[in-house]
Chain A
Amino acid sequence: MEDAFLDCAGWQAMLERADIPTASAWIGVLRREDFTSHRGTLLVWRRESDGGIARVTVALREYQDAAGPDVALLLVVDGAAVATLRDQGLATMQALVRQGKLHPYILKTMDQLEDAGLSDFVEDLGLVFPKH
């Protein structure tokens, strides 16, 4: 596919390989230009448990200034970060955050993240504490 960001199957393959937690809320990924212009395409994914079987779901949504109440975490990425994430997986997230190529926005409180099964995921971003 020409635009790797829109390639849900590709994201799904990467996420199936990754050790992401089963969660009741979505993780959203948004290109920086869409975030800045307040409109565009939001990629969402999560691992769900369906009758005891865990499976990754990936979808695209229209983005208009808000990610939606079922999205717990919004990862705003630049072009290089899209490629890195797709090619090298989620283990690169901490580095991308530090390089300023991936900017996470936390849309829920810590308690809500915990209830949604995503508190560990957020902690893995290395962002749970102000970095003086």
Chain B
Amino acid sequence: MTEAKRPGELKLKHLFQPGQIGKFKTKNLVKYGACCVSNYNGRDGTISPRELARMRVIASTGCGIITNQGAYPDPLGEGKAYFRQVALFDDKFLPQFETIAQYIHDHGAVAIQQILHAGRYGGIDLGYCIQPSVVPQTLPHFRPPREVTKEQIKAIVQQHADAARRSIKAGFDGTEVTSFMGYLLANFNSRFTNQRTDEYGGSLVNRGRFMRELIDGIKQATPEHPLVIRLNGAELMDRWGGNTEDECFELMQQAVDCGVDMISVTVGWQEAPESSIGRDIAPGHWNYLSAKAKKMFPNTLITFGNRLPNPVMADECIRDGVFDFWEVCRPLLADPELIHKAADDRLDEVRRCIGSLNCLSRLFRDLPYTCTMNPALGHEVEPEYHITEATVKKRIMVIGAGPAGMEAAITAKKRGHEVTIYEKGDRIGGNLAGYAANDLARPDDLLSIIRHYEVMAKKLGIEIKFNTEANAKFMRSVLHQYDVCIVAAGARTDMAAFRHIEGFNLLVDALDISTGKVKAAKRLVMVGGGKIGLTLAESLTKAGHEVVVIEEDKRIAGDVIPSFKWRHSAWIEEMGIKTLTSTHLVKATAEGATVKNAKGEETFLPADMVVISGPRKSNHDLFNEFQWMIDELHGAGDAVIARGIDAAIHEGYRLGVRI
């Protein structure tokens, strides 16, 4: 009997149609992509209970194909890119891989194991990495290079074949090798890192030899099982001597000729001088690469998903022949229910991946990855992070409808508590609303957080009392109506820190401009080159204002997430925004600002308005006022320490699951 279609499956009929890879049938055309590695595992490559718990969640995402994260195939660890990457160079690792394969099969998906030799980005524990040629690193994170010998090449091919055989032995249906994003396979393929003069270097045919041998080796080891290869459609390294797009596609042709079952088209290298998957790239931007691959290789399965977070767009792409399978990873880290919500026609409930790249920022600090939008990611093994029914149902008041307050409220409500939110403004979002509206990268991504909270508050029936300022008098009026108070009132600009400045009364709060409360003048001096000051300066400059940013620190963007610092620096430069670092405000007048640098030199900056964007100060007053007025008093987000959205969401959630 045919299973009844869910409402969203009927709407997204292309995405939710069955497919096939090799001899294996898939329930839909969604492939979970092995998105970097989690860094949740043992330093010796063993899979941890934390990883198993996460994979149990990933297995249940509803994807037709699930790719397990890349395992390094060599015992030395030359292929190991991340501190806690899993290994597959010995049968001793198999039991946990068997468990993961079983999880995936239990949910009716095809299981693919990725084999990841990081090449130029590998040797994390060794103090060196191996490459086709000695091309020094451009990023200090990575290890100094050694040239790989021909004997080593043969051994590496064999290690990949052995790892593939082991994967199948563990119960996986197929394997995947990856060049993304600058790993060993890419190092051989690219002119940038392959400057060999033997049969593995020089011409495109020679550079592709390693890839062909790799494919051949794995195919011979596992002839009945599909092989996926991840190849760059664009390296974004051509300015530095890497492959052109045309060369990338010629390499794909070689892979097709060798009989790969699926090509996963990817974009960019770690060290590429431009963005590939951050939120400054518009969704769908790279689709043309996939469309080109599909057109060139109509008989080979093409999967793609770089910066394509939306199932509706993916459905259209499949309809239009842009690719055969939607390869999705980060959106499923943000919301593991994404595919089920799409199938149930509940896309309005999705927690969208906002492309903050918090995940990668942490990986390159050798930390386990986490997700801004999904506080439970990486904590699946901990019951404390699960949303379970509360033993004692409480009446909870939340002060502030920003991300911390909303997260706490929604989580607590799901557990059966009675929740009321008090918000002094007239909308959900707190300071995020003003910040998002000025974001140059993709305001819609940040605004999607607010929309998600609006939808969930409505669906869960959370009462929100707008235009209600919480203070001691208000608290007395609601005394004994609540068991718990969560202060999530955010942070404000610390204007008092400038009280000693001559012209203090002329200073304007950046938050008042970002929310439209105060109209920005034509010429401004922005005091503070952190994320708020920069975002507003960029937005105002785009709107035709003239802005000079001054920053006390010696660099701007000090509080910006590592993966986005360069983005602000680039915008500041491209837009010609003058920045004065190691500089502080001395005096403000109606004509401008006098500032002083580290050498003690004073400069007058003509301006119609002097705006203060930092430092920020948490709203601690409410804690003191409410301390003796309620049974439980908690704080979350910027109200505790001024930081940002990541901390706000995570703390709000952690409170919600605990109360």
Q: Residues on A close to B: CB < 8 A?
A: 36, 74, 94-95, 97-100, 103-110, 113, 122-124, 126-132
Q: Does B276 contact A (CB under 8 A)?
A: yes
B-chain residues with CB within 8 Å of residue A100 when the two chains form the complex: 239-240, 273
- Given known pairs A105-B136, A107-B136, A113-B140, the reply for A132 and B357 (CB within 8 Å) is yes
C-alpha gap A123/B271 in the complex (Å): 14
B211 CB to nearest chain A CB (Å): 23
Selected interface stretch from B96-104, B435-443, B509-517, B562-570: B562-570
Closest to A97 in B: B273
B166 CB to nearest chain A CB (Å): 30
Closest to B357 in A: A132
A-B contact pairs, 27 of them (CB 8 A): A74-B136, A94-B569, A95-B573, A98-B273, A98-B274, A98-B570, A98-B573, A100-B240, A105-B135, A105-B136, A106-B136, A106-B140, A110-B141, A124-B555, A126-B565, A126-B569, A127-B138, A127-B139, A128-B139, A128-B141, A129-B139, A129-B361, A129-B566, A130-B364, A131-B271, A131-B566, A132-B278
B388 CB to nearest chain A CB (Å): 35
B657 CB to nearest chain A CB (Å): 30
C-alpha gap A95/B141 in the complex (Å): 21
Contact with A along B134-159 (1 / 0, CB 8 A): 01111111011000000000000000
Given contacts A109-B144, A130-B364, 14 further A-B contacts (CB under 8 A): A104-B138, A105-B136, A105-B137, A105-B138, A108-B140, A113-B140, A127-B138, A128-B141, A129-B565, A129-B566, A132-B270, A132-B275, A132-B360, A132-B563
Which B residues from 546 to 603 make CB contacts under 8 A with A? 555, 562-563, 565-566, 569-570, 573
The one of B140, B270, B272, B565 in contact with A122, judged by C-beta atoms closer than 8 angstroms, is B140
B141 CB to nearest chain A CB (Å): 7
A-B pairs with the 4 shortest C-beta distances? Answer: A100-B239, A105-B136, A130-B270, A110-B140
B192 CB to nearest chain A CB (Å): 10
C-alpha gap A89/B181 in the complex (Å): 33
A-chain residues with CB within 8 Å of residue B240 when the two chains form the complex: 100, 103
- Given known pairs A100-B239, A127-B139, A128-B139, the reply for A107 and B360 (CB within 8 Å) is no
Contact with A along B261-281 (1 / 0, CB 8 A): 000000010111111111000
- Given known pairs A94-B569, A100-B240, A103-B240, the reply for A130 and B276 (CB within 8 Å) is no
The one of A74, A109, A129, A131 in contact with B273, judged by C-beta atoms closer than 8 angstroms, is A131
B383 CB to nearest chain A CB (Å): 33
A71 CB to nearest chain B CB (Å): 10
Check A131 against B275 for contact (C-beta < 8 Å): yes
Residue among B137, B138, B278 with max Cβ neighbours from chain A (10 Å): B138
Across chains A and B, the number of contacting residue pairs, with CB separation under 8 Å, is 81
C-alpha gap A117/B143 in the complex (Å): 19
Q: Please report the total number of B residues contacting A with Cβ < 8 Å.
A: 34
Check A130 against B137 for contact (C-beta < 8 Å): no
C-alpha gap A122/B141 in the complex (Å): 12
* B interface, over-half SS: loop
B-chain residues with CB within 8 Å of residue A128 when the two chains form the complex: 139-141, 562
Contact with A along B2-29 (1 / 0, CB 8 A): 0000000000000000000000000000
Which B residues from 525 to 565 make CB contacts under 8 A with A? 555, 562-563, 565
C-alpha gap A63/B278 in the complex (Å): 38
C-alpha gap A5/B275 in the complex (Å): 32
Which B residues from 396 to 448 make CB contacts under 8 A with A? none
* A interface, over-half SS: mixed
B-chain residues with CB within 8 Å of residue A129 when the two chains form the complex: 139, 141, 361, 364, 562-563, 565-566
B-chain residues with CB within 8 Å of residue A74 when the two chains form the complex: 136
Closest to A76 in B: B240
C-alpha gap A95/B569 in the complex (Å): 9
Check A126 against B138 for contact (C-beta < 8 Å): no
A-chain residues with CB within 8 Å of residue B143 when the two chains form the complex: 109
B345 CB to nearest chain A CB (Å): 32
B81 CB to nearest chain A CB (Å): 12
B-chain residues with CB within 8 Å of residue A106 when the two chains form the complex: 136-140
A-chain residues with CB within 8 Å of residue B357 when the two chains form the complex: 132
A-chain residues with CB within 8 Å of residue B138 when the two chains form the complex: 103-106, 127
B194 CB to nearest chain A CB (Å): 14
B375 CB to nearest chain A CB (Å): 22
A-chain residues with CB within 8 Å of residue B555 when the two chains form the complex: 123-124
Check B277 against A132 for contact (C-beta < 8 Å): yes
Closest to A103 in B: B240
The one of A107, A126, A132 in contact with B276, judged by C-beta atoms closer than 8 angstroms, is A132
Closest to B561 in A: A129
B245 CB to nearest chain A CB (Å): 16
Closest to B237 in A: A100
Check B139 against A130 for contact (C-beta < 8 Å): yes
C-alpha gap A90/B276 in the complex (Å): 27
B-chain residues with CB within 8 Å of residue A122 when the two chains form the complex: 140
A-chain residues with CB within 8 Å of residue B275 when the two chains form the complex: 131-132
C-alpha gap A129/B364 in the complex (Å): 7
A-chain residues with CB within 8 Å of residue B135 when the two chains form the complex: 105
Closest to A107 in B: B136
B-chain residues with CB within 8 Å of residue A126 when the two chains form the complex: 565-566, 569-570
A-chain residues with CB within 8 Å of residue B563 when the two chains form the complex: 129-132
B-chain residues with CB within 8 Å of residue A113 when the two chains form the complex: 140
The one of A94, A95, A105, A132 in contact with B268, judged by C-beta atoms closer than 8 angstroms, is A132
C-alpha gap A91/B236 in the complex (Å): 25
Contact with A along B447-470 (1 / 0, CB 8 A): 000000000000000000000000
C-alpha gap A4/B566 in the complex (Å): 30
B-chain residues with CB within 8 Å of residue A131 when the two chains form the complex: 271-275, 563, 566
A-chain residues with CB within 8 Å of residue B364 when the two chains form the complex: 129-130
A-chain residues with CB within 8 Å of residue B141 when the two chains form the complex: 110, 128-130
Closest to A38 in B: B195
Closest to A32 in B: B241
A124 CB to nearest chain B CB (Å): 8
C-alpha gap A106/B357 in the complex (Å): 24
